[in-house]
Amino acid sequence: MKILLATQNQGKVKELQEMLADARIDVLSLRDIPDWEEVEETGQTFAENAALKAHAAAERTGYIALADDSGLEVDALGGAPGVYSARYAGEPKDDEGNNNKLLQELREVPDEERTARFRCALVIATPEGQEFLTEGTLEGRILRAPRGHEGFGYDPLFFIPDFARTMAELTIIQKNKISHRAQAFQKAIPILKDLISQKQRVF
């Protein structure tokens, strides 16, 4: 059985495929869809953007589709970059540019006030128009310099006190147990399995 994760990010695809390793479900990405046209993320929240992408993917391809909108919320910046996390430093998307801008914005903020969280909203959409939402959050703080080489995005700057490491210093196994996206995806697994079971009974 194939499902579509509506992203170009192979890191996300790898994370979800790891979680579904025992379910005989193949995870496709938008790289597998010829001539895909990006969906404009016009939502004001992570959940709204995730729903826009998931429904568009399901309608265009006929697959059960998942889409997440994830981002970083920094308390000292009033919740920014938030829904603009991927393009914080402008177009095109640039992890290094985003991290550099974040460090610049926080240069005068003391360590104890650099609290932040990763937030993820994940929407599952079916070609028939059904929608399911799951969410996850992970609390941490922003360091003054990057650490680690795993992960992507803001991972090298996001320090998790309970592990005394950044997200970029965790293995994918560790990350899949605690990350905001992993939380949302773990909650989605039983929903996905149920939907696929229903489809298999129909066919």
Do 70 and 46 form a contact (C-beta atoms < 8 A)? Answer: yes
DSSP 185: H
Residue of 26, 69, 75, 162 marked active site? 69
Region 50-67: what's the mean pLDDT? 96
Is 26 designated active site? no
Average pLDDT of the residues in 124-147: 97
The pLDDT, as a whole number, for residue 91 is 86
Q: What is the CA radius of gyration of the chain?
A: 17
Paired strand residues for 185? none
At 9, which CATH number?
3.90.950.10
Instruction: Give pLDDT, residue 150.
Output: 86
* Close Cβ partners of 39 (under 8 Å, ≥ 6 residues apart): 6, 52, 53, 56, 57
Residue 6 pLDDT level (bands cut at 50, 70, 90)? very high
* pTM (predicted TM-score): 0.84
State the pLDDT at residue 201.
54
Report how many domains make up the chain. Answer: 1
The pLDDT value given to residue 203: 38
Please, which pLDDT band fits residue 38 given cuts at 50, 70 and 90? Answer: confident
- Domain span at residue 164 reads 2-202
